[in-house]
Structure formats: C-alpha cells, structure tokens
C-alpha cells in the first residue's frame, strides 16, 4: 500500500472520529458515535498493519492480544461505580505508550550520523514529557479513586516549589535535546522527572476533584499523541490527538464551570484538606450539633402521606447499587398518588452525569430527572426531600459559610423542602471531607445504614401502610 493510499484511508478514520465526537454530544446518538469511532479505529489498525507488512507481525499480534485482552476484561468486569478509575487507567496507559514511542524513536534516529531535525526532536521531547505526566498522574488518580491511597489531599510545605523545580528541570533536559545535544540519557532523565512531577502534581488534589483532573490528563494524552504524530510524520495521530487535546480541554473547563470553580483552583488549592479548626467548628456546631435519627417506619409514613417527594441521589446510591430499589419505592409512592421526581446535581457521584447513567439503568423516566435550577425551583413546594447518599452537593455551607472550601458551589437547596430525610451510612463527612450542617438542621432526620437496605425497608414499610 502506498503512503498516499494509507493517508486517504487514515482520512476516513479521522472523519469517523469527528462524527463520533459529534454523536457523543447527544444522548440519542451517543452509542452510534462510539460504534463509528471503533470502526474508524479498526480501519486505522488494519491499514497500519498492511503498511508494515510482515515485520514482527507476531509481536504486534501478541502485544495487542495482551493489552486488548486486559482492557476488555478489566472494562467488562468492573462495576459501574468504578468506571471513573477505569477511565483514568486507560488514559494513563495511552500516555505511557506515547512516552515509549518517543524513547524508541530517539533511540532509532540518534546513533551517528543520525541527527534529528529540530521539529522532530521537539516533538519527541513534548510527547515524552506530556505522556509521562499523564501516565503518572492518571495512575495516582486511579489509586485515589480505587482507594489504594487516601483520597484526601496530601500536602507538605514547599510543594509548589518542588513541583516547579521538577518541571523546570525536565524542561531543561528537553531544551538540551532540542538544541542538539545528542544524548539518549537526557530523554530518560526527562521521563523520570516528568513521572515524578505527574505523581506530585496529582497527590495534593482531593479525591472529589479527580474527574476534572482525569479530564485534564485525558486532554494531555491527546496532546502527547499529536506530538507523536509529528515525530512519526503521521496525520491520523496529529489530527486525532489534537481533537482529543482540544475537546478534552473544553470538557475540563465545562466540568469546572459545573462546580463553579476555576481549573487553577481545582489543581492548586488542595481542596478538601482538613480545615483549620475555626471554620469547621463554626459550620458543624452552630446549630447545637444535635442530629435526629429516625426509623424506617417513621420515614415511610412521611413519604406515603406527602404530596411531593424529591429524591436526591449521590455517590452512596451508586456504591449501594440502590438505583433499582429507589425506582421501586418511587413507583410505589406514585401508586399512592405522590408526585415523585429526582434532583440531579451536575457533579453528584464521582463524575458528571454519573447519576443520570445509574437512574437510566433503572429505567427512571427522563422527564422525572430534574437538573439543578429546575429542582431548586421545586424544593419550596416539596414535602419531603430524600437525600440518598449525597453529601457535598446538598451542603448549605456552599451558600452560607465563606470559610468553607466549597463556598460558592451551586448546590441543591434541599433545606427549602418541608422535611429532609438523609440516608447515610454514618456521620462520616463526605468525599470532600467537609462537615455538613444540613444534618444538624431541625428539619432533617437521618436514616442510618446502607442506602439499599434502607430503601428496601422503606419499600416494605410503605407497602404495609
């Protein structure tokens, strides 16, 4: 196959990726988008294989079998709740691949009399640097979400300085390479520094912000892949990588906006650190600090005789896999003439859209899922708001307490409802590690226990009424 034929076929792949991105922006066509993208990917792999010919075909096949097999099994086996860390993992290995390609390319062209052109060595440096940061950062994000390491920000003094110094040192190695120093070890040192930087960069970021970080690292991997495209002079890598780099950046900004926080604030503020005594105590203890706990029977009566009930799902719902049970309870209540809807915060769960996915799985009708503004308009005429494993997204401190790290984030104003029922495992603070005065609100009753068990008890009790 000539290189022109290959490039024309690669163009088809590029078009499928653009169509895939466009289709992914709409719920009705999203699935078709993935299939189109996968078909384009398949085409690119086949074209590349034909071009390479028989050279090390068995090694390529074995590598694909190993990597693809791992990817397929891991992605199939994992629970819906663990999807975010899988995205992090698969993003990281992509960045790792870009780094390895850079190391390989430099090794191939460097032995004398080889002298890479400036743009090629620049591309090699960039893809190695960005790919390594993305790889290491994604692995830390994976470890945090998988709770292999603690989700809370890990900070020490001089952190920004150390990170800055590491990054500058890596950049120094890169500059030396670009300016013509033909030493492979420089690229190895650069990769080592970039890996360390990637780890230290993500460590101080709280677990609740990981989706934004993963999105950013996803854009990074895209950029690294585009740089690989320059070093291999391959159009499909340049365009596809840059498409991901650009759309990933925009997506990161959108996610930040949904939380009403700038990306710089997400990355550098060590959000969710244990706060200084003052602010936390003021938030928690102000209302006298008493928490009312209720039995399932009490709550069942409240629900059955309400006119309007709004469910507010959060990560606890996902962990307990309680979406089908919530749906069942909602149907039961609707059968009794109660008006039921769901209030979905844009960042409820661990990923934007997490709750929509889970409730869609339980066949909750679309029109019962209400977004932030709509839901907040309804709470004043809601009898009971049932918070199922959500915490930070209903924390009134975001409205009232300027000392709170989530101050300014738009929240669901469940405290506007006549009564609030909070289903929660225990009094432990939420993922962001912040106290929630909602639990101390006189309107609030707590129903402690696993969300699924509690909902099942409520279903039984409502039936018995």
**DSSP three-state, residue 341:** strand
Helix (H) or strand (E) holding 387: strand 384-388
> Which tokens belong to 279?
């602010």
Q: Which residue has the tokens 């209302």?
A: 287
Q: Which of 392, 415, 453, 456 is catalytic?
A: 392
- Report the candidate in 404, 454, 446, 403 with the shortest Cα–Cα distance to residue 427: 446
Q: How far is the CB of 133 from other proteins (least distance, A)?
A: 14
For the stretch 252-268, what's the b/e string if a residue is b when 16 or more beta carbons lie within 10 angstroms of its beta carbon? bbebbebbbbebeebbe
Helix (H) or strand (E) holding 5: helix 3-23
> How far, in Å, CA of 219 to CA of 252, rounded?
8
| Cβ atoms of 452 and 322 closer than 8 Å | yes
Is 392 among the catalytic positions? yes
Sheet holding 369-371, edge to edge: 369-371, 339-344, 308-313, 384-388, 419-424, 444-448
Dihedral sign of CA atoms 370, 412, 323, 349 in order: positive
**DSSP three-state, residue 306:** coil
| Cβ atoms of 98 and 218 closer than 8 Å | no
Q: How far is the CB of 331 from other proteins (least distance, A)?
A: 6
> Which tokens belong to 432?
């962001």
> How far, in Å, CA of 44 to CA of 219, rounded?
21
Q: Where are the alpha helices (DSSP H) in 259-322?
A: 263-268, 277-285, 296-304, 315-320
Q: How far is the CB of 360 from other proteins (least distance, A)?
A: 5
Q: Which residues are catalytic?
A: 392
């Amino acid at each position: 196959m000539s290189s022109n034929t290959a490039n024309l076929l690669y163009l088809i792949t590029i078009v499928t990726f653009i169509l895939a991105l466009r289709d992914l922006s709409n719920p009705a066509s999203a699935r078709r988008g993935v299939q189109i993208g996968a078909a384009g990917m398949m085409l690119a792999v086949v074209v590349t294989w034909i071009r390479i010919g028989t050279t090390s075909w068995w090694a390529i096949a074995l590598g694909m079998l190993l990597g693809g097999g791992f990817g397929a099994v891991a992605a199939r086996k994992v629970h819906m709740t663990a999807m975010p860390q899988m995205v992090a993992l698969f993003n990281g290995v992509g960045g790792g691949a870009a780094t390895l390609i850079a190391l390989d390319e430099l090794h191939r062209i460097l032995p004398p009399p080889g002298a890479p052109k400036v743009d090629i060595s620049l591309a090699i440096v960039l893809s190695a640097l960005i790919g390594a940061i993305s790889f290491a950062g994604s692995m830390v994000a994976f470890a945090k979400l998988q709770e292999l390491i603690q989700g809370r920000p890990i900070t020490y003094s001089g952190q920004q300085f150390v990170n800055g110094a590491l990054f500058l040192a890596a950049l120094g190695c890169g500059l030396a390479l670009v300016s013509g120093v033909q030493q492979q070890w420089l690229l190895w040192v650069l990769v080592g520094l970039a890996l360390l930087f990637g780890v230290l960069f993500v460590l101080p970021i709280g677990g609740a912000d990981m989706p934004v970080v993963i999105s950013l690292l996803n854009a990074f991997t895209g950029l690294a892949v585009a740089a690989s495209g320059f070093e291999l002079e391959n159009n499909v890598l340049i365009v596809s990588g840059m498409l991901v780099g650009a759309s990933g950046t925009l997506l990161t900004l959108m996610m930040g906006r949904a939380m009403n926080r700038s990306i710089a604030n997400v990355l550098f503020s060590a959000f969710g650190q244990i706060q200084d005594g003052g602010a936390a105590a003021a938030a928690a203890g102000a209302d006298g600090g008493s928490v009312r706990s209720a039995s399932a029977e009490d709550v069942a009566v409240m629900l059955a005789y309400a006119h309007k009930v709004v469910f507010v799902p959060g990560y606890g719902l996902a962990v307990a896999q309680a979406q089908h049970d919530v749906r069942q309870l909602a149907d039961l209540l609707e059968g009794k003439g109660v008006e039921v809807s769901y209030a979905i915060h844009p960042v409820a769960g661990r990923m934007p859209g997490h709750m929509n996915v889970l409730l869609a799985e339980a066949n909750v009708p679309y029109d019962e899922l209400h977004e932030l503004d709509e839901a907040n308009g309804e709470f004043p005429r809601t009898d009971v708001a049932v918070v199922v494993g959500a915490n930070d997204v209903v924390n009134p401190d975001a409205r009232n307490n300027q000392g709170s790290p989530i101050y300014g984030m738009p929240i669901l104003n469940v405290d506007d409802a006549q009564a609030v029922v909070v289903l929660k495992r225990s009094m432990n603070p939420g993922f962001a590690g912040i106290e929630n005065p909602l639990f101390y609100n006189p309107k609030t009753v707590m129903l402690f226990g696993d969300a699924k068990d509690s909902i099942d008890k409520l279903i039984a009790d409502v039936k018995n009424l």
